[in-house]
Amino acid sequence: MRIKHHEREPARKSSVSSSFTCGICADRKPYKKSFAIKGCTHSYCSDCIRQYVTGKVQDKITRIYCPVSGCHGRLKPEHCRSILPSRVYDKWGDALCEAVISSRDKFYCPFKNCSALLVKGSDYRDIFESECPICHRLFCARCKVPWHSEITCREFQRLHKDERGREDILLMQLAKKKKWVRCSRCKFYVERTEGCLSMKCRCGHTFCYNCGASVSGHYCTNCKH
Q: What is the pLDDT of residues 177-202, one digit of tens each?
A: 888 888 878 878 888 777 787 888 88
What residues form DSSP beta bridges with 146? Answer: 139
pLDDT of residue 67: 95
> What pLDDT, on a 0 to 100 scale, did the predictor assign at position 173?
76
Same domain for 28 and 77?
Answer: yes
Residue ranges for the chain with pLDDT beneath 50: 1-15
Q: What is the pLDDT of residue 14?
A: 45
Check whether residue 36 and residue 77 sit in a common domain: yes
DSSP H stretches of helix in the chain: 2-17, 46-58, 77-80, 86-99, 153-158, 166-178
Q: Give pLDDT, residue 10.
A: 39
Domain containing residue 19: 15-99
One domain for residues 131 and 203: no
Give yes or no: residues 138 and 70 share one domain.
Answer: no
Same domain, 37 and 91: yes
CA dist 23 and 55 (Å) reads 18
Residue 166 resides in a domain: no
- List Cα–Cα distances, 50 to 83, 200, 204, in angstroms: 6, 66, 63
Domain membership flag for residue 170: no
Residues 123 and 195 grouped into a single domain: no
